[in-house]
Amino acid sequence: MIKSKAIEIINGLTKEELDEFRLFLDSPYFNRKKKILNMFDIIRLRSNELGDNGPAEEQVFGELFSGGKYSASFVRNLMSELLAKCREFLVVNRLKKENFEDNHSSFILLDELNRRHLDNLFGIEMKSQRKKFEKKKMDDEHFEALAKLESVNIAYHLFRSSMHKVPPHLFKRAEYNFIHFLQLFEHDLMDISVNKTAFNLDTDKEIFPALSRFIDTDKMLDTLADYESSAKEEIEIHLRLIRLGNGFEDDKNYFRLKKLLLSRTGLYTNSEAANLFIKLKNYCGFRIYGGERKFYDEKFTLGRKELEVIKFNEDGVGPLHISIYLELIQFALYEKDVAYAESVLRSHSSSLEESRRKSVAGLAEAMICFEKGLFDQSLKLLSSVSPFNTLMKVNCKVLLIRLFYELDESESGISAIESFRHYLASAKDIGESRRSNLETNLKIMRNLFRLRFNRAECRPEDLDDLSDMIRQSESRYSRWYFEKVNELKPI
């Protein structure tokens, strides 16, 4: 068995990259040792043999010695040099794939022009860079890059002993660095907040969360109102995002932030806009968790806007997440907006992860058919769904129970309820609040089956008690529950 970091890197290259690496090694500018190129050619040719049960090192690299005596130390040294070339290639190839529109390459070029006192070319390139940033959409590195651009300007004037021209660039650099600091601060704060909720983390002994609570965003926002800056709104946005991330229940802050962000979505890159939508929806989830039902509608409105604005599976954004997709369809069906649910199914199913698209879209179509009263068709669609996570399993189980109710399948319905009860008792990845909510839904559905299929027990007071339970549950299925209760009332 031959172990080598160089071989690991080579095996991880694409065919195109392997061809480029060979050109790299064959160039005297990058490599002047023919033996390194020969070793690469041998590794590439015999890559399938270099496993646990492959030939010995001497058999593989013996031909490097042209009939001379094999030297293990020589091979090790050569392999070490090949590793160095592999690492160099990865960096050079990355830079080659960039163009001078990319920040990193641009700053290197400006620095070189400055150091070589090519003032005319420096001025032209600096002007070009400023125009680029005027047109460029903002991402999480935007203000960091602007700050670096001001640093390049400062360095230029210092090199030319033009100290009097430095201060304006210092102030702009400080402003851009401050915004970038707010971005970094807010990103960490949001990540910790989300993970704390998801994994019930104890953050009381951690330094960052403790210090973050002393950031007085109110005073900063009051101060900001008295000054003017081209980046004023961006500073306000990140101060308000920090307030959001600190867990403050502040709807005024949320709605001001939402207004700012939605008016500026066209200024952000696709991935940055997607992140901002997530943060707004996280606040809605926080308020829903606290019992504010109006934020269900708010989250639905945001979700609809998100589908209009964000391009999934491109420009730094991955597939449309199944929770966003299914939640939008469920919201629409709850509001009896079947047409919108069908438009999501028709227009956005292709944005889902390909390997899971069929099952998720199948569940969505089954939900829509249920709402349209096509219960047999819904059941058929549901039977072809393969639930692969907790969200899918829960939605499938609830829909199945409701279908059995509508199809007068009493025994199958009771069996499905018991199956769901056992699942809830054993599922470890369901939070306590969610588990409690699902158990309440299960209790409501069990009572519906009991009262419908044992009419002797269906007294008016029992229906009133069930209605109270539904009202208190604030379940997303409450409208359907109330419809079924009303159907059981005597005419």
Q: How confident is the model at residue 468 (pLDDT cuts 50, 70, 90)?
A: very high
Residue at 25 is within a domain: yes
Mean pLDDT of 54-71: 75
Evaluate whether 122 touches 114 at the Cβ level (below 8 Å). yes
pLDDT at 99 over 70: no
Q: What is the DSSP letter of 320?
A: B
Would the pLDDT of 84 be above 90? yes
Q: Is 80 exceeded by the pLDDT of residue 457? A: no
| In the predicted structure, residue 51 carries a pLDDT above the cut 80 | no
Q: Tell me, what's the pLDDT at 53?
A: 61
pLDDT class of 341 with cuts at 50, 70, 90: very high
Residue 193 in any domain: the answer is: no
- For the residues 430-440, what does the mean pLDDT come to? 85
Tokens at 85, concatenated:
């070339």
| 177-181, 309-313, 337-341, 476-480: range with lowest mean pLDDT | 476-480
pLDDT-based confidence at residue 382 (cuts at 50, 70, 90): very high
Between 56-70, 134-148, 151-165, 435-449, the lowest mean confidence (pLDDT) is in 56-70
Q: pLDDT at position 102, please?
A: 65
Interatomic CA distance for residues 201 and 74, integer angstroms = 53
Q: At 3, is the pLDDT very low, low, confident or very high (cuts 50, 70, 90)?
A: confident
Kindly report the length of the chain.
491
Q: Which amino acid type is present at position 436?
A: S
Listed range (44-48, 161-165, 398-402, 441-445) with the worst mean pLDDT? 44-48
Q: What is the pLDDT of residues 395-408, one digit of tens each?
A: 999 999 999 999 99
Question: What share of the chain has pLDDT > 90, as a percent?
Answer: 68
Tell me the pLDDT of the chain averaged across its residues: 91
432 domain residue, yes or no:
yes
Identify whether 31 is part of a domain.
Answer: yes
pLDDT at 185: 95
- As a whole number of angstroms, the distance between CA 402 and CA 268 comes to 43
Q: What is the mean pLDDT of residues 30-58?
A: 82
The pLDDT confidence band at residue 204, using thresholds 50, 70 and 90, is: confident
Does residue 311 carry a pLDDT above 70? yes
Indicate whether 23 belongs to any domain: yes
Q: Out of 380-394, 396-410, 431-445, which region has the weakest mean confidence (pLDDT)?
A: 431-445
Please state the pTM of the whole predicted model. Answer: 0.81
- Tell me what pLDDT residue 267 has: 96
The values of phi and psi at residue 328, to 5°, are -65, -40
Categorize the per-residue pLDDT at 491 as very low, low, confident or very high, splitting at 50, 70 and 90.
Answer: low
Q: What's residue 455's pLDDT?
A: 79
Q: Which residue has the tokens 């690469």?
A: 40
Per-residue pLDDT at 474 exceeds 80: no
The pLDDT assigned to 319 comes to: 96
**3-state SS, residue 458:** coil
- The SS3 assignment for 381 reads helix
What is the phi-psi region of residue 66: left when phi exceeds 0, alpha when psi lies from -120 to 50, beta otherwise?
left
Structural domain includes residue 358:
no
Domain hosting residue 12, numbered range: 5-97
pLDDT in tens, 239-248: 999 999 888 8
In a domain, 220, yes or no: no
Q: How confident is the model at residue 490 (pLDDT cuts 50, 70, 90)?
A: confident
Predicted local distance difference test score (pLDDT) of residue 55: 64
Q: Residue 101 — pLDDT band, cuts 50, 70, 90?
A: low
pLDDT over 70 at 54, yes or no: no
- 74 assigned to some structural domain: yes
How many CB atoms neighbour CB 230 within 10 A? Answer: 8
Task: For residue 244, give both structure tokens.
Answer: 């959001």
Q: How many domains does the chain have?
A: 2
* DSSP, residue by residue, 129-190: HHHHHHHSPB-TTHHHHHHHHHHHHHHHHHHTT-GGGSHHHHHHHHHHHHHHHHHHHHHHHH
